[in-house]
Structure 1
Amino acid sequence: MVTPYSDKTADQLPRSWQKESFQQQQEAFLQEQARQRLTTERHRQQRQQILKEEQDAESRREQELERLKEMSSTLQQQQKNKEDPNSVDGDIQDNLPTEFNESLFPPASQRLLEAKIGPKALDDYLNSNPQNRDARDTAVRYILRQANVAYHNNTVYSVVIKPKSKIPPSGDIHDYSSLARYFWKNPNTSDGLPYVRLDGRPNPDMDSVWDYRLLRKVFRDCYYMGQAYFWTGEERYAEKIVHRVKQWFLDEETYMNPNLKYGSLIFGHDLGRAQGVLDMFKVYGMFDALKAIEGSKALLAEPQLIPSLQKWFTSYLNWIDNSVQAKQERNAHNNHGTYFTVQYISILEFLGRNEEAKAMSEDSMQVRVGPQIRKDGAQPHETIRPISFFYSIFNLQGLILLAMQAESHGLDLWRYVGPIEQTSIRINSKTSTEIEIGGGTIEDAIRYLSDYAVRDRSEWPYPDSGARNLRDVLKMAKVASLVYGQDRWQELIANLEAKVDEATPGEGNLTESPEGSRGVAPMAGVSGAHTTVAPDDGEPNGFVCELGILSEGTLWHCYK
């Protein structure tokens, strides 16, 4: 409101106004003091409440950890009580099968094999080479050994049993977390933070957070027990799969929140990295297991298990679709992008969203296969890595998985050839270079690695400080022979088999390292650090993988 005094200063106002103004100011001052006292008291009470809540939460976490430790100890004791004191090396004598018995092979499993592959095609495959039946028996023996270990392992698998010091920045014990593989203490800061990247040099401290290993154990154990159920019909395997799935994803006390916000966390940062999304990619092994036990009593007795798990993964995909980290992983051009797509398609298929899965498979031709394989078969996004041979194998295994997934939707990624283009590729945070991409097929990539696998490792034209798993190359070559024709691969497979035998005579360890030691290669520049090869995550001869190929991706995937 405009007044005659609207343009005056305080000392120009009438004295009566000045007096009134002083009284008002004094009252306002007293009111402000009272308000501040109330605010201070309210803040004090809030701080006390927050402190109490933190103390209560810490107490609950400690109680939960103690309860879970006690549960794990009890289960382990129960396992020990079952052991036969006369058994060798603690083997449990419980009549679980250890060999494949064709006469006891479940009829339901036989019908499924025939339905997915065709009875004539299956017989032709088994009879085409006497070694195929031997390979089946060897594979099932290996599967049963792994499955029996998984069945008898009563350790609690859960994100909530991580050490108190490793709870992620959210403070929520149900949040998954893992540490970035190639990051080490910063030598230029007093506290070593934030950690800095040394590519190709895994920091063993990553094992101090258990979530990563336990999640992989869930997938691996479920996969092998699912296969064991398929080949033997032993209901106990299905029961344990149901238990593991519920314990990790669904049970109120032990569930994991449906996100990977703190995956591949770097010390000194509050959130994980895009690369942490890769931690979930082996989920397809668990989905394969759930397919394998579809008719089991254990699964039929839990009618809400699959719907509840689908709800969990629907929430997880929602996080992926809206997460900055996951969007970065989706846009990756190397193995991270490959396995992002493998993971996403697997989940879409589990949720029954097959049209979306097909569309993503079709998109992966131009986005994944085409840009990653050169005309000569090299994978330029992997050959720039210090462990280039390993990552070339790893990415190619992912492309094979994508091809199997696409084939189940009527698409052929095996023979897709992308256009030859020039692109910029980042070598490190400061350096990029121009490279040629495209022009090659998955077959070209398998042949490229197979050709170099039978040569002296010094002939590999890229940096490579890592160990090599020759078994993986051989398995991929056998996949190629099924897809592209045996005549084109017979000689190279024979050479690979000879190389495998030569590398590890009589021991069955098919990993070759640069220093001649099996599976371990010293890392220059890092005292005490080594490049190691993880235990083989697939049966030795690839038989189950080959059945997946013969079924055009509708039976199982190549688990690795």
Structure 2
Amino acid sequence: MVIMLRGVSYRALTIVFGLYVFCALFMLTPCTGSDLNQASKSWRDSKISTTKQERSLEHQEQYLKRAVNDKTTKRKATAARPMKQMIAKKQMKHVEADDQAEHPVGDDDVDNDPVDETQRPLPTKFDLATFPPASQVVLENTIGAETLKQYISQKSHQAARDVAVGYILRQANTACRNNTVYSVVIKPKSKVAPSGDMHDYTSLARYFYRNPDTPNGLPYVRHDGKPNPEMDSVWDYRLLRKMFRDCYFMGQAYFWTGDERYAEKTVHRVKQWFLDPETRMNPNVKYGSWIFGESLGRAQGVLDMFKVYGMFEALKSIKDSKAMQAEPNLIPDLQTWFRAYMVWLDGSEEAHHEMKAHNNHGTYFTVQYLSILEFLGSNAEAKALAEEAKTVRVGPQIRKDGAQPYETARPISYYYSTFNLQGLMLLAMQAASHDVDLWHYSGQADAEAILKKMPKKEPKFEIGGTIEDAIRYVADYEVLKMARIASLVYGRDRWQKSIEDLTAKINEGGSGNGKREDED
């Protein structure tokens, strides 16, 4: 598979290679259990299953939808509001549990969702007989007809393909069966943003706690590295990430099976979150990472939107589906929403601060911004941003030995080093579609210019490391999936021994401690 994929285009990476890379980056989390500094062997420590209780809410949801949309009687709309809150509270018990870090981790591999036997079962494995011709054409145009034939027919590729596609289908089937309402308007009224508008996205600052020394708990105080459980009381963050994740897997499932149900549910999710008047989100995140007592959110809240790239990938995958053909205004309307969002980003002080960040926040700002530029068709701007990422994102953040000093300074340094590296890898994949190579870029050639741009108050360090150096640095702590991705990009011969060593270490039950010798 390595030989097959080396040197191919970005589109091939996001489809064949993307089976491994995007799935891994969506599911990857460097932490497990309560100690975020401990390296994980399994990478997925939270589970989700759409439960029987959630199924029992379907008739209530249907009533709610009718009541909310029925403008003819005030009585019905009034009656729907308390039911709306009741449904929301019950639904949130079954929404995917986030990990304790910046982004949610994946579902359990086992699909425990109860199946409605009256419906045709969803696909569970790759079937060449139903492999859509349009998808085959895409692959032929990116990796070549002969390579595609080998990928489909050769036994050496079949096992890896079947595992990858099977995993995608398990996640997509859970998402497709899930009838939870995903919307910013179902949060408790007590958690609405200072604007008073239910449609304003709201999330709470992760590391800020009530002040124990004041009667009203204000001002909140920061405890870096210790997530405040109170943030779970506002549901927008979890639902937004869940929506992006569900769309991504359903889009991939449609690509490999052509089953229209995945496309239909993806369209439903996108419309429900961004476009339907009753449930849509306003085009900003100005109350993201909000601290109680403040009038606005913080720059860090802009990070909440970065996984939008998964939704955009899904829309590419289902573009020829009947569901999309039935919604000719979906893409234009969604582009209108994101143009308004970009206006907010470009004029927001919080977003500007996030753009200037030298750590994972800056990395994911660029991932998000570049994704939106591509979706809007602004390819020249996207290429310029990808080129700029060499000296703004990769060069200043990776030390010559592969360490990421802006992340190792944090209390949970192992997590943040890995989290930022995931962002740099995503950015490298995006840049490749614009013929910009971030995978092999080293800041050494531009060291003088890069050092001048770095904050004067922060200590300088010896730059010059590549993304591969950073992967190898954290791979000492069992980042097996990253090592496998590295072998696809840089060649198996360079990474085979590391993969074997990490596999053996995991099989022996070893665990990294997430702490380098040069960290305090």
- Do both share a fold (TM > 0.5)? yes
Equivalence for 1:161: 186
Quote how far apart the aligned CAs of 1:360 are.
0.5
Equivalence for 1:465: none
Q: How does 1:455-494 map to 2 (within 5 A)?
A: 470=478, 473-494=479-500
Query: Closer, same or farther in 2 for the Cα pair 1:123/1:147, shift >3 Å?
Result: same
Equivalent pair of 2:151/2:158 in contact (CA under 8 Å) = no
Quote how far apart the aligned CAs of 1:496 are.
1.8
Equivalent pair of 2:113/2:177 in contact (CA under 8 Å) = no
The alignment status of 1:302 with 2:327, answered yes or no, reads yes
The code of the aligned residue for 1:185 comes to R
Q: What count of residue pairs does the alignment treat as equivalent? A: 416
* 2:126 paired residue among 89, 100, 103: 100
Equivalence for 1:138: 163
* 1:416 paired residue among 418, 432, 441: 441
* 1:91 paired residue among 108, 115, 118: 115
The alignment status of 1:115 with 2:141, answered yes or no, reads yes
Quote how far apart the aligned CAs of 1:217 are.
1.1
Equivalent pair of 1:176/1:263 in contact (CA under 8 Å) = yes
The code of the aligned residue for 1:256 comes to M
Whole-angstrom CA distance in 1 between matches of 2:485 and 2:275: 36
Q: How does 1:398-409 map to 2 (within 5 A)?
A: 398-409=423-434
Quote how far apart the aligned CAs of 1:102 are.
2.8
* 1:258 paired residue among 272, 283, 295: 283
Equivalent pair of 1:275/1:336 in contact (CA under 8 Å) = yes
The code of the aligned residue for 1:104 comes to T
* 1:231 paired residue among 252, 256, 271: 256
Quote how far apart the aligned CAs of 1:499 are.
2.6
Query: Closer, same or farther in 2 for the Cα pair 1:188/1:406, shift >3 Å?
Result: same
- Deviation per CA, 1:375-429: give whole Å up to 9, x if none: 0000111111111111111111110111111110011111111144668999xxx
Quote how far apart the aligned CAs of 1:75 are.
11
2:461 aligned counterpart, secondary structure = strand
- Deviation per CA, 1:209-238: give whole Å up to 9, x if none: 000001011101111111111111110110
1:270 aligned counterpart, secondary structure = coil
Equivalence for 1:279: 304
Whole-angstrom CA distance in 1 between matches of 2:485 and 2:262: 28
Q: How does 1:311-350 map to 2 (within 5 A)?
A: 311-350=336-375
Q: How does 1:154-553 map to 2 (within 5 A)?
A: 154-419=179-444, 420=447, 434-450=459-475, 452-453=476-477, 470=478, 473-503=479-509
TM-score (norm 1): 0.69
* 1:148 paired residue among 173, 177, 200: 173
2:164 aligned counterpart, secondary structure = helix
Query: Closer, same or farther in 2 for the Cα pair 1:313/1:361, shift >3 Å?
Result: same
Whole-angstrom CA distance in 1 between matches of 2:237 and 2:86: 22
- Deviation per CA, 1:54-106: give whole Å up to 9, x if none: xxxxx999766336458889999xxxxxxxxxx99733333111122233322
Equivalent pair of 1:371/1:437 in contact (CA under 8 Å) = no
Query: Closer, same or farther in 2 for the Cα pair 1:175/1:74, shift >3 Å?
Result: closer
- Deviation per CA, 1:115-143: give whole Å up to 9, x if none: 2222344456678982x421221121111
Equivalent pair of 1:424/1:432 in contact (CA under 8 Å) = no
Equivalent pair of 1:162/1:210 in contact (CA under 8 Å) = yes
Equivalent pair of 2:88/2:187 in contact (CA under 8 Å) = no
Equivalence for 1:66: 82
Equivalent pair of 1:424/1:433 in contact (CA under 8 Å) = no
Equivalent pair of 1:72/1:154 in contact (CA under 8 Å) = no
The code of the aligned residue for 2:333 comes to S
The code of the aligned residue for 2:491 comes to G
Equivalent pair of 1:399/1:442 in contact (CA under 8 Å) = yes
Equivalent pair of 1:182/1:197 in contact (CA under 8 Å) = yes
Equivalence for 1:18: none
Whole-angstrom CA distance in 2 between matches of 1:495 and 1:252: 54
The share of aligned pairs that are identical, in percent, is 63
- Deviation per CA, 1:357-381: give whole Å up to 9, x if none: 0010001110000000010000111
Whole-angstrom CA distance in 2 between matches of 1:175 and 1:425: 35
Equivalent pair of 1:98/1:144 in contact (CA under 8 Å) = yes
Whole-angstrom CA distance in 2 between matches of 1:241 and 1:231: 15
The code of the aligned residue for 2:299 comes to A
Quote how far apart the aligned CAs of 1:239 are.
0.5
1:168 aligned counterpart, secondary structure = coil
2:125 aligned counterpart, secondary structure = coil
Quote how far apart the aligned CAs of 1:449 are.
1.3
Whole-angstrom CA distance in 2 between matches of 1:88 and 1:484: 38
The code of the aligned residue for 1:486 comes to R
Equivalence for 2:96: none
- Deviation per CA, 1:173-204: give whole Å up to 9, x if none: 11000001111112332221121111110111
Whole-angstrom CA distance in 2 between matches of 1:162 and 1:74: 12
TM-score (norm 2): 0.75
Whole-angstrom CA distance in 1 between matches of 2:76 and 2:404: 50
Equivalent pair of 1:377/1:447 in contact (CA under 8 Å) = yes
The code of the aligned residue for 2:143 comes to I
Of the structure 1 ranges 104-113 and 173-182, higher mean CA displacement relative to structure 2 is found in: 104-113
2:179 aligned counterpart, secondary structure = coil
Query: Closer, same or farther in 2 for the Cα pair 1:282/1:89, shift >3 Å?
Result: closer
Of the structure 1 ranges 188-197 and 332-341, higher mean CA displacement relative to structure 2 is found in: 188-197
1:436 aligned counterpart, secondary structure = coil
Equivalent pair of 1:159/1:176 in contact (CA under 8 Å) = yes
RMSD of the TM alignment (CA)?
2.9
